[in-house]
Structure 1
Amino acid sequence: MTVRAAWLLPTGQTREDTRLAPLGAMVPTSELASRDGVIAGGNPLSAAGVGPMQLQIGTGRALVQGTTPQGAYPVAVTSPETLTLADGDAQYGRIDAVVLRVRDGLYDTSEQTAVAVEVIQGAPSATPTAPALPPAALRLWEVTVPAGTSAGTGGITWGSALADRRRYTAAYGGIIPRGWGLNFPGAHDGQYRDTGTSLERWNASAGAWQPYPADTGWIDLPLPTGYQRFSANAYPFQIRKTGTQVHLRGRITCTAGPIPADGQPLPGLTLPAAYRPSQSPTSYAEVLLGCDVTSTYPAGVVRGEISGRGTITAAFQRPISTWLAFGCSWWTD
C-alpha cells in the first residue's frame, strides 16, 4: 500500500502504518475536531504533470478530518501516486479537485474502508468553479481543464493549470505553517500561525488574528500649530509600536522661527502615553535627529530626547535649525 491511514482499518494496522502516519494531538478546531491539513516538511504531496492528462502527487503526510463523531484520520502517502484526468468538455472548461479522501463504511454509504488520492471532477461551465468536497476529504490541488482538452490535442498545460490548495496543520501548541488561505478562525486564545511574512496570535476575546508581537502599524501623528510636514517627498510624522519598541519617522519644519534650543522641548508636540518611555515621567530615551547644524554645514545629526512625559527635545547649542528629521526607535519598558 502506498496510501495508508492509521486507525481506519478494523484490523490489520501494521506497526509501519503507525510509525509513518502522523500521530498525537493536532491543532484543534473545536472540543473534539482537529484542523485537517498537510504536515509540513520538504514539499509534501507535491504535484507535477507527467503526461498530457496525467498528474503525479508526491509523498507526504496529512490529517483528514471526518465528521466530529467520526474523528480525524492520520494519513501517509509513501510512494508517488499517478492520476489520470478526464478529457475536457466539448464546450466549457471545468475545475477538478485533487484530494486525499477517506472512505469509512461505518460513517458513510461507501461500504468501503479505504483511503486514496483521487480526482473529484468539477462541472463544466462558462464560469467554472471548484467542486464541493464530500466529508473526510482534504483538498490538495485544483486543475483547470479547458474545453476540448485531451491527450490528442496536447493535453493540459500544467504550468498554468495547477493551483496549490494545500493547507497545513501542526501538532497541538505548534505554529500553523503558511498555506492556502488565511481566512480561518483560531480555536483557542494564544494560538499562533505563520502568515508567510510574520506571526499572528489568535485573540479569542476580539475574535481576530493579531500581529505578534503586537504591531500598531504606522499611525499619523497630528502636528500642532507652528509645525508642518517638511515636503511632499518627506515621510509624514508617524509613529509605530511593535511589542515594546517604538519607531518614530518623518521630517517636520517650524513655520515661524527655529527649533527651540537645547533643553527646551518642542512646544505643543506631545507623544501619546502608550508610546512613551515608561520607567518614570522624568525618564527619557536618547535618540538621534537629523537637522540644520550650521549655515555652512546645513545637514547633520544631533542628540535628542524622548521623555516619559512624551515631549521631544533636540540638543542644540543654539537655535539655528528650522527642521527636524526623525528616524529613531526606543523601548517603552
Structure 2
Amino acid sequence: MNLRSSWVAEIGQTREDTRLTQTGVTTLANPVQVRSGILPGSYDGQYRLAGFWTFGSAPMTATVSEGRAVIQGEISQGAYPVTLPTSETLTFAPGNAYNRIDLIVLKIYDDLYDDNQRYEAKLEIIQGTAEPNPQVPLVPERCLPLYEVLVPAGVSAGNGGIPWNTSLKDLRTPVVSLGGILPVEGPVQPGAYPGQYQDAGGALQRWDGGAWVAYPSALGGIVPNSASSLTASYTGQYRDSPTGVLQRWNGTAWVPAVPGPYFADTADQGETGSGTYTATLEKRATNPLRVSFVAPPSKAVAVGFGSRVRSRDDHYAYMALELSLGSTVISAPLDEYAAMAASATTVSVSSTRRISNLTPGATYTLTAFFRIVPNTLGYKASFDNSFIKVDPLP
C-alpha cells in the first residue's frame, strides 16, 4: 500500500513521509500538492511580503533578507519548508560581452532524487547566458525563484556594478496556512477549491470553481466599486456603480436600487383661457410638461408640483396632474388635488400628494394640466416656472 503517515509507525518514518503528510503552512494547488512560495508578513505590518526581500548592498553584491518559504517537489516528493533566519549576501559574476539575466533562487538538493550526494537547502544564483536578447535561465526542479537580476554587459565592481534600482525584478509569491486568505502578489493563480479566498489588493475574492469573484458577489453583499465591472451573479444583487450610485441587478441590467427622484420643470411662461383642463399653454414652447417614473416596490410615490400663477382676484387658476400608464389614463386632473390661486399679482403655489397602489417596476407618466375658472370676459391665467417632482416612497 502506498498510503503514507506521520508519527504512527514505531520505526521507518522517512523524510519523504514527513514532507508528504504536512498540513501546516501551505496553500493548496491540488489534493496532494501545495504552491511553492514565501510566507507573508513584515516587522511593522506595513508590507504584505517582507521575507527574502532583496536589495543591492555593493556594486556586484545583493543582500537577501531573512524569511520562510515552502518549496513543492514532484507529487510523490512532498513539500520542503525552508527558513533563512538571518540575511545573506550573494555576489554576482562580472558582466559579459552581452547582457544576461541571472536568477536568485532557493534550491533544494535531495540525493534521493538528484543523485548528487547532497541533502541541503541553498540560497544561490543561477547564471544566465549572455546574448543580444538574453533569456531567463530555466528553473530546475525543487527550486523557488525569488528575483530576476539583469546584469548589463561589461559591468563590474570597478565600474559601478549592477544598477540595482532597475535590474531587480521581484518574482516572490506568497503562500499561507491551509484555509487562510492569500494576499495576492505577482501572477494570479487559479484556486484549488470552491470557497477559497484571496485578497487581490483591495478586493476580497472567492474562488467559485472556475473564477475568482468579488467576495460580496459570492455572498450577497454589495459589490464594491473596485469590482463593479463584474457580471452579476443573481437577480437582486447590489453594487456600488462606477458613478457612485447604488444599483440592483434586475435580471438583465443594473438599475438604480432606489429610483428617482424624478423631476421636470420649465421656466417658460404660458397662459390659457380654457375653463377645462388643457396640457397646452399659449406662448409656452414646452408643451406638455410631463415626467415619467418607475414605480418602486412600495407601490407608492410622493408627488410635488407647482407654478408661479397670475389670474384675477375673483378667478381661480388651477394646475393639476394626469397620471397615465402607457396610453391608459389612471387618474384625470381634478380640482380636489390641484394647486390653485386667485390673484392679480403673481404668486407661487404648490401642492404635494401621495399616489398609491402602483405596479412595481411599471413606468408611469405625470402630465401637467392647467385651467382658469370659466368666464365670458376673456380672462386668462398665466403660469411660469412650473415643475413636477416625484419621490419614491420606502
Indicate the TM-score class for this superposition, using the shorter chain for normalisation: 0.5 to 0.7
Q: Alpha-carbon deviation of 1:197?
A: 2.9
Change (3 A) 1:79 1:240: same
What residue is the counterpart of 1:156 in the other structure? Answer: 162
Q: Does 1:88 align with 2:91?
A: no
What residue is the counterpart of 1:28 in the other structure? Answer: 28
- Give the secondary structure class of the aligned counterpart of 1:140: strand
Q: Alpha-carbon deviation of 1:244?
A: 3.1
Q: What is the rounded CA distance, in whole Å, between the counterparts of 2:36 and 2:199 in structure 1?
A: 16
What residue is the counterpart of 2:72 in the other structure? Answer: 65
Equivalent of residue 206 in structure 2, options 201, 210, 228: 201
Q: What is the rounded CA distance, in whole Å, between the counterparts of 1:89 and 1:67 in structure 2?
A: 35
Q: Alpha-carbon deviation of 1:217?
A: 3.5
Q: Does 1:289 align with 2:249?
A: no
Equivalent of residue 244 in structure 1, options 226, 237, 248: 237
- Give the secondary structure class of the aligned counterpart of 2:183: coil
Contact 2:228 2:241 in 1 (8 A): no
Q: Alpha-carbon deviation of 1:131?
A: 1.4
Q: Alpha-carbon deviation of 1:113?
A: 0.8
Q: Equivalences for 1:219-230 in 2 at 5 Å?
A: none
Q: TM-score when scaled to structure 2?
A: 0.55
Q: What is the rounded CA distance, in whole Å, between the counterparts of 2:141 and 2:230 in structure 1?
A: 46
Q: Which amino acid aligns with 1:193?
A: Q
RMSD: 4.1
Change (3 A) 1:240 1:99: same
Q: What is the rounded CA distance, in whole Å, between the counterparts of 1:150 and 1:85 in structure 2?
A: 9
Q: What is the rounded CA distance, in whole Å, between the counterparts of 1:176 and 1:276 in structure 2?
A: 31
Q: TM-score when scaled to structure 1?
A: 0.64
Q: Which amino acid aligns with 1:51?
A: A
Q: What is the rounded CA distance, in whole Å, between the counterparts of 2:40 and 2:157 in structure 1?
A: 33
Q: Deviations over 1:254-304 (max 9, x none)?
A: xxxxxxxxxxxxxxxxx7336699xxxxxx9644537445639xxxxxx98
Change (3 A) 1:175 1:321: farther
Change (3 A) 1:317 1:136: same
- Give the secondary structure class of the aligned counterpart of 2:158: helix
Q: Which amino acid aligns with 1:289?
A: P
- Give the secondary structure class of the aligned counterpart of 1:152: helix
- Give the secondary structure class of the aligned counterpart of 2:182: coil
Q: Which amino acid aligns with 1:76?
A: T
Q: What is the rounded CA distance, in whole Å, between the counterparts of 2:143 and 2:162 in structure 1?
A: 24
What residue is the counterpart of 1:273 in the other structure? Answer: 251
What residue is the counterpart of 2:122 in the other structure? Answer: 116
Q: Which amino acid aligns with 1:68?
A: I
What residue is the counterpart of 1:45 in the other structure? Answer: 52
What residue is the counterpart of 1:231 in the other structure? Answer: none
Q: Which amino acid aligns with 1:97?
A: L
Residue identity over aligned pairs, in percent, reads 34
Contact 2:95 2:154 in 1 (8 A): yes
Q: What is the rounded CA distance, in whole Å, between the counterparts of 2:59 and 2:144 in structure 1?
A: 25
Q: What is the rounded CA distance, in whole Å, between the counterparts of 1:247 and 1:314 in structure 2?
A: 27
Change (3 A) 1:161 1:148: same
Q: What is the rounded CA distance, in whole Å, between the counterparts of 1:248 and 1:323 in structure 2?
A: 24
Q: What is the rounded CA distance, in whole Å, between the counterparts of 2:389 and 2:72 in structure 1?
A: 61
What residue is the counterpart of 2:137 in the other structure? Answer: 131
What residue is the counterpart of 2:288 in the other structure? Answer: none
Q: Alpha-carbon deviation of 1:129?
A: 2.0
Q: Alpha-carbon deviation of 1:149?
A: 1.1
Q: Alpha-carbon deviation of 1:157?
A: 0.6
Contact 2:149 2:167 in 1 (8 A): yes
Contact 2:261 2:389 in 1 (8 A): no
Q: What is the rounded CA distance, in whole Å, between the counterparts of 1:242 and 1:37 in structure 2?
A: 39
- Give the secondary structure class of the aligned counterpart of 2:114: coil
Q: Alpha-carbon deviation of 1:241?
A: 8.5
Q: What is the rounded CA distance, in whole Å, between the counterparts of 1:240 and 1:23 in structure 2?
A: 33
Change (3 A) 1:305 1:147: farther
Q: What is the rounded CA distance, in whole Å, between the counterparts of 2:33 and 2:233 in structure 1?
A: 39
Equivalent residues, number:
254
Contact 2:228 2:239 in 1 (8 A): no
Contact 2:63 2:88 in 1 (8 A): yes
Q: Does 1:217 align with 2:228?
A: yes
Contact 1:48 1:57 in 2 (8 A): yes
What residue is the counterpart of 2:344 in the other structure? Answer: none
Q: Which amino acid aligns with 1:217?
A: S
Q: Alpha-carbon deviation of 1:124?
A: 1.4
What residue is the counterpart of 2:105 in the other structure? Answer: 99
